Each structure stands twice: as C-alpha cells, then as structure tokens.
Amino acid sequence: MKTIKLEIDGQQVETAGGTTILEAARKAGSDIPTVCYDKRLPPYGACRLCMVEIDKGGEKRLVASCAYEAEDGLVVRTETPRIVKIRKMILELLLAVSATGPLEALAKRYGLKESRFQGDQPKCLLCGLCVRYCAEIKKNNVTCFIGRGIGKEVVFQSDLSHSLCPVCRECIPLCPSGTLYSLYLKGYSGSPEPGSNKGL
C-alpha cells in the first residue's frame, strides 16, 4: 500500500494510503474531538467537531477530518483559533440538547460554562451512531431515522425491538447525548406498544 507523507500540527507524519486525517492525526498525538465517529463504522460527518484546517498547495480550507483522506504534501492544523471558534459554536448548539458525557468533557476542554441556547435535555443529537451500529455491526436494523430537517428523529421499529433490544442494548453506551441511557432508566426496554414506533 502506498505511504502518504503529510504535516500535522508541525510534525512530519507518514501513514498508509486510505487513512483519514483523523486517524493519522490521532496516531501522531493530536487530540481532535469527535462525537459521531466510531472507528468500526464508515465516516458519517454529522457533528463537524472534527473539523481541521488543511493547506493544499497554498489553498486553505476546512474539512471534516473523519471523512477526508490524508494526501501527500498536505499541511494540517487541528486546533487554530479559527477552528476553536467554530468548535465552540458547534458545542454550544450540542450542549443545548445534552450536557453530559463526552459533551460535558468537551465543554470543559473549551472553557464553555453554559450554552446560550436552551432546550429539553437529554435529546437526540442525530449523530446516527445507534442507527449505524445497529444496522452495520449488529445487522439488526431495529433503529432508523424518519423525517427530514427539523422533523428528523430516530425511531425503534417495534416489531423488531420487542425481541432484539432486551438482549442487546449495545447502542446505549454509544449514545453521546445520554438519550438512550435516559430511556433505559425510565424502564424503556425496547418494547414499545406493538405497532407504534418509538421516537426519541
């Protein structure tokens, strides 16, 4: 496999062709925050927290590092003032619907005490981790998205969830918003009323 040479945060890095910037940067010690990334799943590009600045032959732009493959000669900066500003804005929006777990840790890291935006908590961030994990790793397809735009939500397909969720529940610790854990604490067993899908 071809070896790619690039610069990440001032360091010369070599990585295998096909590696994403996120993977190469993490290996080189750069701590890029992510919410919708899971190394077992294909990139999804939902949260945009992994945004980095790339310089390609003098042309600078921002890219989602979880989805952008490393290229020869690329200069990557993972935490510039511009990136920090964008991440803080994204984080504020995410914190409005969940301020626990990984988001709480990221708020501390970026010095955010509270969000200017308010919302019911915890609420689904639409990161897609539960849907993708259930479909691609477990091959169960119990969870899926319905709707579009602001009407988009995750639902459990009741006919499948009744039998499959109680013996799995592997999506619960994956959920960065704590929504699935909160449902679990409320006694939701993955067995909603027959025939009715359960929106989160």
Binding-site ranges for ligand FES (CB under 6 A) = 34-37, 45-50, 64, 66
Q: Are 174 and 41 in contact (CB under 8 A)?
A: no
Contact flag: residue 97 with ligand SF4 (CB under 6 A): no
- The residue among 28 and 125 lying less far from ligand SF4, judged by its C-beta, is 125
Contact flag: residue 103 with ligand SF4 (CB under 6 A): no
User: If you write DSSP's letter for every residue of the chain in order, what string do you get?
Assistant: --EEEEEETTEEEEEETT-BHHHHHHHTT-----SS--TTS-----S-TTEEEEEETTEEEEEETTTSBP-TT-EEESS-HHHHHHHHHHHHHHHTT--SHHHHHHHHHTT----SS---SS------HHHHIIIIIS----EEEES-GGG-EEEE-HHHHHHHGGG--TTGGG-TTSHHHHHHHTT--S-PSTT--EE-
- The correct pick among 94, 180, 182, 192 for binding ligand SF4 (CB under 6 A) is 180
Contact flag: residue 91 with ligand SF4 (CB under 6 A): no
- The residue among 77 and 198 lying less far from ligand SF4, judged by its C-beta, is 198
Report what 154 binds from ligand FES, ligand SF4, none; CB cut-off 5-8 Å by kind. Answer: ligand SF4
Residue in this structure with the two tokens 């610069």, named with its chain if needed: 7
Q: How far is the CB of 6 from ligand FES (least distance, A)?
A: 18
Report what 128 binds from ligand SF4, ligand FES, none; CB cut-off 5-8 Å by kind. Answer: ligand SF4
Contact flag: residue 6 with ligand SF4 (CB under 6 A): no
Report what 200 binds from ligand SF4, ligand FES, none; CB cut-off 5-8 Å by kind. Answer: ligand SF4
Contact residues for ligand SF4, defined by CB under 6 A: 124-130, 154, 174-177, 179-180, 200
